[in-house]
């Protein structure tokens, strides 16, 4: 009988196309905006997750500070973190490297300073690291190459896209020299544009990377803000991180003023933002479904009183109250469902346009589609029930008059 109701609903919706379209409009707008925003969020999240590079799930990050502090972190807060108690030392880095199961370690040290080139100045982050760094970043070098282990005491720099464009005002400033603290560094490589977000609090676009040993010559106080550690395999991550913890506690005279984070935890800062965004979107979705649902209910009430005669006829030929109820509820459900589906189509189109015109890569997951589907059905049932009950209650004699 449900398929019968469905056919009847389609029939009456088709016979009032314009009105049905208007009725669905609220749902279409609500669904398409919500799905688009969710897809954008998903896309950004996936891009960020993908940035842990070759190391992928075997990543462990060590940061100074208590675990709770270390999670929600930004580069600025890392930089402002005073070099006193709790910062990571070179000793920590070296002893981490010796832990069995660790395949690579890359420190992220920072030097305060301004880069200059032909009297132009650039304030970005100056990061001292080793040749291991690229395996932790999912970021390709566009021109030149990242410094190798052999370059560790040479005066070479690898810069981000923004640095090239702002400081050198050209795309390929390879071989040009920039000056930091009076020392010249030759640009050896330029990173590709980092599309969105940051991974592990590094904005590659505005960063200048120097080899650790050579950076030590210009600054005696390199603050190690993070240690990127690669474990042998994702399975060994737990053991490696607990080993790092014991080793570092010994280094820090029994104090645990640092945090060892596995990949998921390192991304938690990002997750937190997305969680709040998701709650907000859910609120918007809820409101748009309520508004759309009220629109449907409104039209259904109008339809019911307009089709009084039809209801009378259907009852006269033997429709039960329940069948009339089912038919009208189904009509509301179909309206809202079609609205939901059209909304998804609209948002897919919007996503396509966003992909083409911007760097963002929105991703619409099946889960989102299913949730919208379910919400549409529920909205239809709720908003269709009262009008349908009114239709079912109609007295056939009065209705036929």
Partner 1 sequence: MPIIQIEELSKLYGFGDATTVALDEVSLTIEKGEFIAVMGPSGSGKTTLMNILGLLDRPTHGTYTLNGRNISKLSKNRQAKVRRDNIGFIFQSFNLLPKLTILENVALPLAYKGTRQTKRLKAAARVLEQVGLSDRDSYLPGQLSGGQLQRAAIARALVNNPSIIIADEPTGNLDSVSARVVMELLSEVHKLGNTVLMVTHNPSLTRYADRIIYMLDGGVVYDEASAVGEIPGRVQKAITALRLSDDDDKLATVSAMMETIPDISKTPEAEDPKKKRKTVRQKRKARKQKKAKK
Listing DSSP states for 312-370 in one string gives HHHHHTT--HHHHHHHHHHHHHHHHHHHHHHHHHHHHHHHHHHHHHSS------HHHHH
Helix (H), strand (E), coil (C) string for 42-58: HHHHHHHHHCCHHHHHH
Q: How many residues does the chain have?
A: 401
User: Is residue 11 a contact residue for partner 1 (CB under 8 A)?
Assistant: yes
Give the residue with the Cβ less far from partner 1, 82 or 398: 398
Query: Comparing C-alpha atoms, which of 190, 125, 135 is closest to residue 157?
Result: 190
Torsion of CA 164, 169, 175, 179, to 10 degrees: -80
Q: Which of 123, 242, 321, 358 lies at the binding interface for partner 1 (CB under 8 A)?
A: 321
Q: Which of 323, 342, 345, 369 lies at the binding interface for partner 1 (CB under 8 A)?
A: 323
Give the residue with the Cβ less far from partner 1, 290 or 313: 313
User: Is residue 319 a contact residue for partner 1 (CB under 8 A)?
Assistant: yes
- Closest contact distance (angstroms) between CB of 24 and partner 1 is 19
Residue 43, phi-psi category: left (phi > 0), alpha (psi -120 to 50), beta (remainder)? alpha
User: Is residue 390 a contact residue for partner 1 (CB under 8 A)?
Assistant: no
- Closest contact distance (angstroms) between CB of 328 and partner 1 is 14
Residue count at the site for partner 1 (CB under 8 A)? 24
Give the residue with the Cβ less far from partner 1, 88 or 319: 319
User: Is residue 389 a contact residue for partner 1 (CB under 8 A)?
Assistant: no
Q: Which of 234, 310, 378, 390 lies at the binding interface for partner 1 (CB under 8 A)?
A: 310
Residue with tokens 């589609």: 369
User: Is residue 77 a contact residue for partner 1 (CB under 8 A)?
Assistant: no
User: Is residue 322 a contact residue for partner 1 (CB under 8 A)?
Assistant: yes
Q: Which of 10, 12, 236, 278 lies at the binding interface for partner 1 (CB under 8 A)?
A: 12
Say how many C-beta atoms besides its own lie within 10 A of residue 355's C-beta.
14
DSSP letter at 197?
S
- Closest contact distance (angstroms) between CB of 312 and partner 1 is 8
Give the residue with the Cβ less far from partner 1, 15 or 82: 15
Contact region for partner 1 (CB under 8 A) — 209-217, 281-289, 319-327, 346-354? 319-327
The three-state secondary structure class of 396 is: helix
What residues does 159 pair with on adjacent strands?
A: 190, 208
Q: Which of 172, 284, 316, 349 lies at the binding interface for partner 1 (CB under 8 A)?
A: 316
Listing DSSP states for 198-234 in one string gives -BTTB-GGGEEEEEHHHHHHH-S--EEEEEEEEESSG
Residue list 13-42, contact with partner 1 (CB under 8 A)? 15
Contact region for partner 1 (CB under 8 A) — 6-14, 46-54, 175-183, 231-239? 6-14
Give the residue with the Cβ less far from partner 1, 103 or 323: 323
User: Is residue 308 a contact residue for partner 1 (CB under 8 A)?
Assistant: no
Give the residue with the Cβ less far from partner 1, 320 or 365: 320
Alpha helices in 51-174 (DSSP H): 67-71, 75-80, 90-98, 161-163
User: Is residue 4 a contact residue for partner 1 (CB under 8 A)?
Assistant: yes
Query: Comparing C-alpha atoms, which of 123, 187, 183 is closest to residue 157?
Result: 187
Query: Comparing C-alpha atoms, which of 178, 256, 253, 197 is closest to residue 41?
Result: 197
- Closest contact distance (angstroms) between CB of 59 and partner 1 is 60
Applying CB under 8 A, the residues found at the interface with partner 1 are 1, 4, 7-8, 11-12, 15, 309-310, 312-323, 396-397, 400
């Amino acid at each position: 009988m449900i398929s019968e109701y469905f056919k009847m609903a389609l029939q009456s919706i088709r016979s009032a196309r314009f009105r049905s379209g208007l009725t669905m409009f609220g749902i279409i707008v609500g669904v398409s905006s919500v799905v688009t925003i969710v897809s954008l969020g998903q896309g950004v999240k996936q891009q960020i997750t993908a940035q842990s590079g070759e190391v992928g799930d075997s990543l462990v990050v060590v940061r100074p500070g208590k675990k709770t502090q270390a999670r929600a972190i930004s580069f600025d807060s890392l930089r402002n973190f005073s070099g006193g108690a709790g910062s990571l030392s070179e000793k920590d880095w070296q002893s981490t490297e010796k832990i069995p199961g660790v395949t690579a370690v890359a420190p992220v040290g920072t030097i305060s300073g301004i880069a200059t080139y032909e009297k132009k100045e650039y304030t970005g982050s100056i990061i001292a690291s080793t040749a291991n760094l690229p395996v932790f970043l999912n970021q390709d070098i566009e021109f030149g190459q990242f410094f190798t282990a052999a370059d560790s005491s040479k005066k070479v720099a690898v810069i981000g896209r923004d640095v090239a464009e702002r400081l050198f005002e050209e795309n390929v400033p390879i071989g040009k020299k920039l000056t930091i603290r009076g020392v010249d560094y030759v640009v050896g490589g330029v990173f590709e544009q980092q599309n969105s977000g940051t991974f592990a609090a590094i904005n590659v676009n505005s960063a200048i990377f120097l080899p650790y040993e050579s950076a030590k010559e210009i600054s005696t106080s390199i603050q190690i803000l993070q240690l990127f550690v690669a474990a042998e395999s994702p399975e060994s991550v737990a053991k490696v991180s607990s080993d790092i913890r014991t080793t570092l506690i010994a280094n820090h005279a029994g104090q645990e003023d640092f945090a060892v984070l596995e990949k998921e935890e390192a991304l938690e800062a990002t997750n937190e933002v997305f969680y709040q965004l998701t709650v907000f979107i859910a609120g918007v979705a809820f409101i748009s479904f309520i508004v759309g649902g009220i629109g449907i209910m409104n039209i259904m009430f109008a339809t019911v009183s307009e089709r009084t005669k039809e209801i009378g006829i259907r009852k006269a030929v033997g429709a039960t109250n329940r069948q009339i109820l089912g038919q009208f509820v189904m009509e509301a459900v179909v309206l809202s469902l079609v609205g939901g589906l059209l909304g998804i189509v609209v948002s897919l189109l919007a996503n396509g346009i966003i992909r083409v015109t911007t760097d963002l890569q929105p991703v619409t997951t099946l889960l989102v589609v299913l949730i919208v589907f379910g919400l549409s059905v529920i909205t239809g049932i709720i908003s269709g029930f009262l009008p349908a009950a009114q239709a079912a209650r109609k007295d056939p004699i009065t209705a036929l008059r």
